[in-house]
Amino acid sequence: MLKQLSYGLLLLALSVCVHAVGMTAMLRWLLRVHPRVGTRFLPVTWLLIKLAWSLIAVHLVEIAIWALFFCVKGCMPDVESAFYFAGVTYTTLGYGDLVLPKGWRLLGPIEGLTGILMCGLSTGFFFAVVTKLLIQTKEVSD
């Protein structure tokens, strides 16, 4: 059980690192691009679409890390199953059509909690960007 917990905490730490790198890159990009966006509908919408794509890409990398672990440890029969299981667990859909072997089951809840935290972080980041755009819009209209 300690081995599972250790692996889970390591995978959590890797997920947080990937998220931090991704959000730092997005923040740097936003600081370069943001002043040129203005308040028109299409530029703002396009910025939010690109931000959403970027956030999803970061989550997919994190899911892939969990999937790779499940493959390496022989927890899933193939890469496709491992990626599917990792995605379903990370997003907390939890279909239950694939399950981890008994010796690895503790990782499921750890991955689910990791996904909740990282999705919450992404939501907060997205909200902060929208808030900044709204503040900018208000300043322009005043």
Distance CA 136, CA 112 (A): 36
| 8 A C-beta contact, residue 84 and residue 98 | yes
Report helix, strand or coil for 98.
coil
Fold of 2-141: Helix Hairpins (1.10.287)
Least confident range of 26-30, 55-59, 117-121: 26-30
Domain boundaries, the chain: 2-141
The encoded tokens of residue 102 equal 């008994």
- At residue 71, what are phi and psi to the nearest 5 degrees? -70, -50
Whether pTM > 0.85 for this model: the answer is: yes
Type of residue numbered 99: V
Mean pLDDT of the chain: 92
What residue type is assigned to position 55 of the chain?
Answer: L
Tens of pLDDT, residues 82-102: 999 999 999 999 898 999 999
More confident residue, 30 or 9: 9
For residues 90 and 136, the model is more confident at: 90
